[in-house]
C-alpha cells in the first residue's frame, strides 16, 4: 500500500498530546479492570456458577480509548451449551453481585439483559455472553465482541496512536459513533480501517476517493452482497458488514472532512471550535435575512434510550415532510433536536402560507364518465372559485383546506405514522412554534443546534 506523507508530525503530536491516555491514566484503568475481573470470578464462585470466564473487551482492552473517556466492557462468558434462560438469570446474578460495589447500577437490555454500573468513576458494562467456537456461530449479537477483540488486539499493537488520531478526527467531523442517532463510524470500524490502510494518513488519503459501494475485505471471505455505501466485511464473520450502520450522508461527510483536511491540515479538524448558543437577537436577524418560514414541532422528550428514540424521530421528520408536501407546502429542509425535557422536529419551508385558491386538475374531458363525475362534484362544491379547461383537462379552482402549514400540522400531525413512544408523547400534547416564536425555546443545547440549523 502506498504511504502518504503530508500531515505534519507536529500536528499529530499535538493531537495525541490531548487524546492519548497518560501513563497514570492507563495504570488506573488496568487496576480497575483487574479489580472487576476478580470480582466477577469471585461472584461466580460464590454463586456456584461453573465454567464462567472473564473477557476484557472494547477499546479499553485494546489500548485504543481516547483519554477522558472512562468506558470499560467486561464480558461474562458462559459455555456454549448454556441455555439462553440460564445465561440471562445466572449472568445477571453474577453481574448484580459485582454491582454491590458500584456507585450506580442500571438494568439495560440489548438482545438480552446486562448491567451498566458506575464503578470508581468508570462507566462499566457487565455483559453475559456465550462462548461460541467462531463469530459466525454466535447465539447473540454480543457474542461477536470477544472475537473482534481477538482479531484486533494482536494486529493493532504498535498502531494504537493511529486509531486514536482517526477516532478524534472523525469526532471532529461529527461522524464518530455507530449509535442510531449518529449513524457514523464505530470504534471497531476505525480499528479495521487502520489495520487495512496501515495508518491514519493512508486512511484519510484513501477516503478522499471513496465512492458508494467501496468494499474492504481483509480476509477475502465475503459471502453476501451489501447495499450500504461502505462495505467492510467483518474479519470474524464473512456475512457481516461492520459499516452497516453508516449512513450515506455520514459516509460523504467523512469523505468531505478528509479532503478539506488534506488541503489545510489543521488542529481544528480534530477539535472544532465549540459553537455558542444562538441568542434571541441573532435568531431574529437570521429569520429576517432568510425570509423563509421556520416551524418547530415541540413535545415532551419520550423516556427511552436514544437508540429507540432517534429512529422514531427520523421517521417522524420524514412523515411530517411528506404531509406538508401532500398539501403543497415546499420543504427546504428538516431536522431533529432532542433535549432532556423537550424534543423538536424542525422544518424550514419556502412559505408557511399558501393562497386560498388551489388548482385542482381533473381527468381529460374525453374520458367521459370520469370527467363528468369530476365536474359534477366540483362545480357545486362549496367555495369553488371557478373552472376551466387546460391541456384538455378539467381544472377547478377550489378552496384550499389548509392555507397555513401551522394549521395543517395542528390538525393532522396525529394522522402521521409515528413510532410508538413518539406517538405516545405527541398524543399527550405538542406545540407548533413558528418563526420568532422559536425564541421561546431557551435550552442552550437547542440554541447550539439552531446555530448549525440557521
CB 117 within 8 A of CB 98: yes
Cα 80 from Cα 396, distance rounded (Å): 70
Shortest reach from residue 400's CB to its own copies, in Å: 9
Among residues 30 and 389, whose Cβ is nearest to its own copies? 389
- Cell numbers at 391, concatenated: 391541456
Whose grid coordinates read 458500584?
102
What angle, rounded to 10 degrees, do the helices at 84-98 and 23-46 form? 120
Q: Is 42 helix (H, G, I), strand (E, B) or coil?
A: helix
Cα 238 from Cα 350, distance rounded (Å): 48
101 is in an annotated binding site: no
- Cell numbers at 45, concatenated: 464462585
Q: Which of 311, 403, 407, 437 binds its own copies (CB under 8 A)?
A: 403
Q: For residue 88, give every residue at least 6 positions away whose Cβ sits within 8 Å of its Cβ, in sequence order, or none.
A: 112, 113, 128
- Nearest Cα neighbor of 426 from 369, 358, 345 is 345
- Cell numbers at 422, concatenated: 413518539
Shortest reach from residue 185's CB to its own copies, in Å: 15
What residues numbered 316-335 form the site for its own copies, per CB under 8 A? 328, 332-333
Rg of the chain on CA atoms, in Å: 28
- Cell numbers at 134, concatenated: 467462531
Shortest reach from residue 397's CB to its own copies, in Å: 8
196 is in an annotated binding site: no
Q: Which of 85, 109, 220, 291 binds its own copies (CB under 8 A)?
A: 291
The angle at the Cα of 215, spanning 213 to 219, to the nearest 5 degrees, equals 160
Shortest reach from residue 251's CB to its own copies, in Å: 8
Q: Which of 281, 289, 341, 415 binds its own copies (CB under 8 A)?
A: 289
Strand partners of residue 75: 55, 127
CB 72 within 8 A of CB 122: yes
370 is in an annotated binding site: no
Among residues 85 and 291, whose Cβ is nearest to its own copies? 291
The CA dihedral of 422, 423, 424, 428, to the nearest 10 degrees, is 100
In 414-424, which positions are buried (b, 16+ CB within 10 angstroms) versus exposed (e)? Answer: eebebbebbbe
Here's the x/- map for its own copies, 367-396, by CB under 8 A: it reads as -x---x--x---------xx--xxxx-x--
59 is in an annotated binding site: yes
- Nearest Cα neighbor of 183 from 170, 164, 200 is 170
Shortest reach from residue 332's CB to its own copies, in Å: 5
Span interacting with its own copies, options 40-48, 208-216, 315-323, 419-427, rule CB under 8 A: 208-216
Q: Which of 71, 228, 256, 342 binds its own copies (CB under 8 A)?
A: 256
CB 298 within 8 A of CB 270: no
Shortest reach from residue 440's CB to its own copies, in Å: 22
The CA dihedral of 19, 21, 25, 31, to the nearest 10 degrees, is 130
Strand partners of residue 344: 298, 337
Q: Does 252 bind its own copies (CB under 8 A)?
A: yes
What residues numbered 74-103 form the site for its own copies, per CB under 8 A? none
Instruction: With CB under 8 A as the rule, give the number of residues binding its own copies.
Output: 46
Q: Does 137 bind its own copies (CB under 8 A)?
A: no
Shortest reach from residue 259's CB to its own copies, in Å: 7
Shortest reach from residue 327's CB to its own copies, in Å: 13
226 is in an annotated binding site: no
Among residues 58 and 172, whose Cβ is nearest to its own copies? 172
Among residues 43 and 321, whose Cβ is nearest to its own copies? 321
What residues numbered 342-371 form the site for its own copies, per CB under 8 A? 348, 350-351, 354-357, 359, 364-366, 368
Span interacting with its own copies, options 147-155, 163-171, 250-258, 418-426, rule CB under 8 A: 250-258
CB 258 within 8 A of CB 370: no
User: Which residues are documented as binding site?
Assistant: 59, 62, 71, 73, 125, 148, 167, 176
Q: Which residues bind its own copies (CB under 8 A)?
A: 208-212, 229, 248-249, 251-253, 255-256, 259, 289-293, 328, 332-333, 348, 350-351, 354-357, 359, 364-366, 368, 372, 375, 385-386, 389-392, 394, 397, 403, 454
User: Which residues are documented as binding site for ATP?
Assistant: 59, 62, 148, 167, 176
Amino acid at each position: 500500500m502506498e504511504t502518504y506523507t503530508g500531515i505534519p508530525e507536529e500536528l499529530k503530536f499535538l493531537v495525541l498530546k490531548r487524546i492519548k491516555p497518560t501513563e497514570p491514566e492507563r495504570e488506573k484503568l488496568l487496576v480497575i479492570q483487574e479489580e472487576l475481573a476478580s470480582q466477577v470470578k469471585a461472584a461466580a464462585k460464590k454463586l456456584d456458577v461453573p465454567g464462567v470466564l472473564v473477557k476484557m473487551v472494547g477499546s479499553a482492552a485494546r489500548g485504543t480509548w481516547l483519554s477522558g473517556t472512562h468506558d470499560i466492557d467486561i464480558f461474562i462468558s458462559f459455555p456454549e451449551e448454556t441455555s439462553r434462560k440460564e445465561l440471562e438469570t445466572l449472568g445477571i446474578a453474577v453481574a448484580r453481585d459485582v454491582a454491590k460495589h458500584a456507585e450506580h447500577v442500571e438494568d439495560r437490555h440489548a438482545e438480552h439483559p446486562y448491567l451498566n454500573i458506575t464503578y470508581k468513576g468508570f462507566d462499566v458494562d457487565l455483559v453475559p455472553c456465550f462462548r461460541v467456537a467462531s463469530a459466525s456461530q454466535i447465539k447473540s449479537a454480543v457474542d461477536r465482541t470477544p472475537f473482534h477483540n481477538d482479531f484486533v488486539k494482536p494486529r493493532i499493537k504498535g498502531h494504537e496512536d493511529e486509531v486514536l488520531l482517526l477516532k478524534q478526527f472523525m469526532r471532529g467531523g461529527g461522524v464518530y459513533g455507530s449509535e442510531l442517532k449518529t449513524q457514523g463510524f464505530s470504534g471497531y470500524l476505525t480499528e479495521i480501517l487502520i489495520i487495512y490502510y496501515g495508518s491514519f494518513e493512508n486512511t484519510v488519503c484513501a477516503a478522499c476517493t471513496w465512492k458508494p459501494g467501496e468494499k474492504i475485505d481483509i480476509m477475502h471471505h465475503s459471502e453476501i452482497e451489501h447495499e450500504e455505501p461502505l462495505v467492510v466485511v467483518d474479519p470474524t464473520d464473512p456475512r457481516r458488514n461492520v459499516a452497516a450502520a453508516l449512513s450515506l450522508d455520514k459516509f460523504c461527510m467523512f469523505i468531505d472532512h478528509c479532503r478539506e483536511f488534506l488541503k489545510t491540515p489543521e488542529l481544528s479538524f480534530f477539535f472544532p471550535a465549540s459553537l455558542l448558543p444562538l441568542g434571541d437577537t441573532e435568531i431574529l436577524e437570521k429569520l429576517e435575512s432568510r425570509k423563509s418560514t421556520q416551524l418547530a414541532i415541540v413535545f415532551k422528550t419520550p423516556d427511552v434510550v436514544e437508540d429507540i428514540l432517534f429512529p422514531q424521530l427520523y421517521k417522524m421528520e420524514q412523515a411530517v415532510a411528506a404531509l406538508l408536501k401532500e398539501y403543497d407546502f415546499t420543504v427546504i429542509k428538516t431536522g431533529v433536536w432532542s433535549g432532556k425535557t423537550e424534543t423538536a422536529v424542525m422544518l424550514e419551508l419556502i412559505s408557511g402560507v399558501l393562497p386560498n385558491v388551489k388548482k385542482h386538475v381533473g381527468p381529460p374531458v374525453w374520458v367521459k364518465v370520469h370527467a363528468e363525475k369530476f365536474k359534477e362534484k366540483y362545480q357545486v362544491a362549496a367555495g369553488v372559485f371557478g373552472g376551466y379547461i387546460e391541456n384538455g383537462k378539467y381544472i377547478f379552482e377550489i378552496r384550499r383546506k389548509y392555507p397555513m402549514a401551522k394549521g395543517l400540522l395542528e390538525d393532522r400531525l396525529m394522522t402521521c405514522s409515528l413510532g410508538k413512544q413518539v406517538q405516545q408523547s405527541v398524543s399527550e400534547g405538542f406545540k407548533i412554534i413558528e418563526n420568532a416564536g422559536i425564541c421561546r425555546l431557551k435550552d442552550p443545547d437547542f440554541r447550539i443546534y439552531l446555530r448549525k440549523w440557521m
